[in-house]
Amino acid sequence: AYWRSSSSWRVRIALVAKGVPFEVVPVNLKLGEQKSDGFMEKNPLGQVPVLEYTDTATGSLICMTQSVTIIEFLDQVFPQSKSLIPTDPDDKIAASEMVEVINSGIQPLQNAPLVNSLERASEGKIIAKDFAQGFITNGFKMLEILIKRRRESSRHTGPFCLGTFSPSIVDACLVPQLYNARRFDVDVDKEFPMLAAIE
């Protein structure tokens, strides 16, 4: 994991929320450690996070990638602790929609390698920070709309993203994204007070 990677951060939140013991193995993205031969064997995309665990039935070492997939896996294999993914069909769809706003509509489009590459390729015509801010702002506007709609229902009055009284997979994705937004000078507290309050 890399400390500032929002995808890795999501997984750490989920592991702690589920009460699953784990060890963080640092991977320094700035030094390119994710492109080493050893790491590429675990994830050929050269991205964090990677969850490694031993299959107790076979003794095999398993490497799992993609943060949302990892969180879904943890929720299934550790059902005895608080669920991060709702079981109610409507709530589950709402969670999936919000997660995808962050996971597909914001995070990859403000990722440093992408925005820095665009700035270089455009010879400065595309400004990395401005590009990232645009996608973060649009995504956060959408999230606030989705959260507000749920809160308008008397059934969803809790303080978290889904209007629940305990965090969900959406909250695990939101908190790291709020940190990233501030890195790109998005005034979260002023522009998105509903999201800031959830944090």
> CB–CB of 74/145 below 8 Å?
no
Q: What is the DSSP code string of 53-91? A: EE-TTT--EEEEE-HHHHHHHHHHH-TTSPPSS--SHHH
pTM for the whole thing?
A: 0.93
pLDDT digits (tens, 9 = 90+) for 78-124: 988 889 999 999 999 999 999 999 999 999 999 888 999 999 999 99
Q: Per-residue confidence at 155, pLDDT binned at 50, 70, 90? A: confident
DSSP 56: T
DSSP 154: T
Exposure of 47 by Cβ count < 10 A (0-12 exposed, 13-18 middle, 19+ buried)? Answer: buried
> CB–CB of 23/1 below 8 Å?
no
DSSP 151: H
pLDDT digits (tens, 9 = 90+) for 17-76: 999 999 999 999 989 999 999 999 999 999 999 999 999 999 999 999 999 999 999 999
Please tell me the predicted confidence (pLDDT) of residue 153: 81
Number of helical (H) and strand (E) elements in the chain, helices listed first: 9, 2
Report how far residue 141's alpha carbon sits from residue 29's, in angstroms, rounded to the nearest whole number: 30
